[in-house]
Amino acid sequence: MAKLSLNRICKSFGKTTILKDISLDIEDGEFVSLVGQSGCGKSTLLRVIAGLETPDSGEIRIDGARVNDAAPKHRNIAMVFQDYALYPHMSVAENMGMPLIMARLPLHARLPLLRHLAPAHARERPGIQRDVAEVARKLRIEHLLDRRPAQLSGGQRQRVALGRALVRDPKIFLMDEPLSNLDAKLRVQVRREISELHASSGLTFVYVTHDQVEAMTMSSRVALMQGGTILQMGAPNTLYGNPDTVDVARFIGSPEINILPGTLENGVVRCGEIALPVAPAGGGGLRSGPVQVGVRPEHMVLETVPELAYPARAGRGLSLTFRKRMIEDLGGEVLVHGHLNGHPEHDVRIRAQKSEAYGSGGSLSQARDWEVRVNPAHILLFDAGGMRLRAEPVLADTHAEPAALQGGLRKKLDLV
């Protein structure tokens, strides 16, 4: 339960700058994810927060107090490492008891042999064992207390690492890619448990991951990092629906967003078959020039009626010709690869329900050219440099209901 603020943190290792002027504020009880690809600096930032690295410049404050020079143990934090970093020679109980021993016993009561002479040792041990047992119960690992880490499975080791962190009653909980060593099914389960842990404990969580699904599902806010800076920080939905840059748009969302080159001339976006008049959001003007047009695979709706002509029907969004190349069958969903008319070299992905792709009349994989519909409101525009152009489409037909456009029109024309 603590407020964390970082102000203009810079960190270099030798000639390489890892963190460039990072500032962020995390409120009490938030779950913030630091996401990004390898090398973006997220782990380094976490270690700076933990106190394992000292920033070259900038300030770290926990609950308003400056902690730049404070050792990790004085910051009231707990950390779960990617490979758990359990002490291999100690039992689970001893692993989890370590922080308490460090906190409650003076040095002479901790040293081997000597400690049996110290009264503090005998006095505190029962209390420590009790606290450890309680946390073990909460995490359902009491039956493992006597085992060594080498005898545990990956998931069990993770709980022990969590236990070791929880037992300290920390204010801030740091996690460095804790799920990456688990298999897929276990990952989903543990993800849920971590979320529940956050909800029940109310602690401030800072969570590092390269997996945007984890970040999106677990966090109250996500900080997307690249090359040592924060590209964008905000609620998951904001990063998804309102990205600041094309890099953010690319990183968030799976499968990756489709980006096609286009131009903006006199207020009209042209890209392949798209001719979309736009007006700048919040007034101002839009400069003509090359732009990048982005549409997410899940926002492209299939209309698989090849026989009909494809006039642009007002009120039903943009209609584009899509030539299918390949279908990936994912079970209930399919991922269709192909390209849009006008951009043969750009691979475009469409995510659709299986029923949409194949239709009621049986296999439509024979059809090669499909009609694809896009709600103009789902089009993301970026300038040539990747910065988001906030513009609103000018809908010719204002009586079109956004709600009808939203879920995708599943009008199946009878072919009989």
Partner 1 sequence: MAAATATTASPLQRAQARLAYWLVAPATLLILLIYIVPIAMVIAASLTDYTLVSDYFEFVGLDNYRRMATDDQFGNALHNTFVFAAMFLPAAFVVSLVLAIAIQERKQFRSILEVLYFLPVTSTLAAMALVWAALLDSRQGVINSAIAALGLPPLNFLGSQDLVLFSLALISLWSTIGFNMVLFLAGLTAIPKNLYEAAAIDGADHPLDRFFKVTWPMLGPTAMFVAITTSITAFKLFDVVAIVTRGGPDKASEVYLYLAFLEGFEYFNMGYSAALSLVFLLLILVFAIIQAVVVDRRVHY
Partner 2 sequence: MPVTPLLQDGPSRPARFDLSALWRAIRPRSPGAVIVTALLLLGAWIMVFPFIWMVSSSLKPTNEVFDPVFTIIPKTFAGLGNYYSVLFDQPYPRFLLNSLIVCVGILVVQLVTAIPAAYALAKLKFRGSTILFGTVVASLTIPINVTSIPLYIGIVKAGLLDTHVAMMFPFFISVFAIFLFRQFFRTFPDSIIQAARIDGFSEMEIVLRLILPSAVPAIAAFSVFSFVAHWNDLYWPLIVVQSQDKMTATLSMMQYQQEFYTDYGKTFASATVVTAPMVVAFLLARRHFIRGITMTGVKG
Q: How many residues line the site for partner 1 (CB under 8 A)?
A: 30
Q: Shortest gap between Cβ of 14 and partner 2 (angstroms)? A: 9
Cβ distance to partner 2 smaller for residue 16 or 200: 16
> 351 - beta bridge partners?
335
Verify binding: residue 5, partner 2, rule CB under 8 A.
no
Cβ distance to partner 1 smaller for residue 102 or 404: 102
- Angle (nearest 5°) at CA 321 between 317 and 324: 125
Q: Shortest gap between Cβ of 164 and partner 2 (angstroms)? A: 28
Residues contacting residue 112 through CB under 8 Å, at least 6 positions apart = none
Distance, in Å, from the CA atom of 74 to the CA atom of 264, rounded to the nearest integer, reads: 55
Binding to partner 1 by CB under 8 A, coded x per residue (else -) over 270-309, reads ----------------------------------------
Q: Shortest gap between Cβ of 128 and partner 1 (angstroms)? A: 13
Residues contacting residue 90 through CB under 8 Å, at least 6 positions apart = 98, 148
What residues between 150 and 189 interact with partner 1 by CB under 8 A?
A: 150, 164, 168
Across the beta sheet with 369-374, the strand order is 300-303, 369-374, 318-329, 333-340, 348-353
Cβ distance to partner 2 smaller for residue 17 or 76: 17
Verify binding: residue 415, partner 1, rule CB under 8 A.
no
Q: Shortest gap between Cβ of 12 and partner 2 (angstroms)? A: 8
Cβ distance to partner 2 smaller for residue 39 or 155: 39
DSSP result, 38-66:
TTSSHHHHHHHHHTSS--SEEEEEETTEE
* Tally of CB atoms within 10 A around 265: 12
Q: Shortest gap between Cβ of 103 and partner 2 (angstroms)? A: 25
Q: Shortest gap between Cβ of 203 and partner 1 (angstroms)? A: 15
Q: Which residue has the tokens 């002027």?
A: 21
* Tally of CB atoms within 10 A around 300: 25
Residues 80, 54 contacting (CB under 8 angstroms): no
Q: Which does 99 bind (CB under 5 to 8 A by kind): partner 1, partner 2, none?
A: partner 1
**Nearest alpha carbon to residue 255 among 356, 344, 372, 334:** 334
Residue selected from 10, 24, 98, 235 as contacting partner 1 according to rule CB under 8 A:
98
What residues between 119 and 148 interact with partner 1 by CB under 8 A?
A: 148
Q: Which does 387 bind (CB under 5 to 8 A by kind): partner 1, partner 2, none?
A: none
* Tally of CB atoms within 10 A around 216: 19
Distance, in Å, from the CA atom of 300 to the CA atom of 203, rounded to the nearest integer, reads: 40
Give how far the C-alpha of residue 158 lies from the chain's centroid of Cα atoms, to the nearest Å.
20
Q: Shortest gap between Cβ of 56 and partner 2 (angstroms)? A: 11
Q: Kind of pairing, strands 289-295 and 300-303? A: unpaired
What residues between 10 and 69 interact with partner 2 by CB under 8 A?
A: 15-17
What are the distances in angstroms from CA 148 to CA 86, 99, 125, 138, 285? Answer: 9, 17, 20, 19, 66
Cβ distance to partner 2 smaller for residue 29 or 39: 39
User: Which stretches of 81-180 are assigned E, i.e. beta strand?
Assistant: 172-176
Binding part of the chain for partner 1, among 11-19, 67-75, 252-260, 323-331 by CB under 8 A, reads 67-75
DSSP tag of 191? H
Phi, psi of 274 (to 5 degrees): -80, 130
Residue selected from 50, 70, 197, 377 as contacting partner 1 according to rule CB under 8 A:
50
What residues between 245 and 274 interact with partner 2 by CB under 8 A?
A: none
Q: Shortest gap between Cβ of 239 and partner 2 (angstroms)? A: 28
Q: Which does 77 bind (CB under 5 to 8 A by kind): partner 2, partner 1, none?
A: partner 1
Checking phi first, is residue 317 left (phi over 0); if not, alpha (psi -120 to 50) or beta?
A: left
Cβ distance to partner 2 smaller for residue 30 or 56: 56
Q: Which does 400 bind (CB under 5 to 8 A by kind): partner 1, partner 2, none?
A: none
Residue selected from 16, 38, 71, 415 as contacting partner 1 according to rule CB under 8 A:
71
Residue selected from 41, 149, 262, 376 as contacting partner 1 according to rule CB under 8 A:
149
Cβ distance to partner 2 smaller for residue 14 or 311: 14
* Interface residues toward partner 1, by CB under 8 A: 50-52, 71-73, 77-79, 81, 83, 85-90, 98-99, 102-103, 107, 110-112, 148-150, 164, 168
Provide the binding-site residues for partner 2, judged by CB under 8 A: 15-17
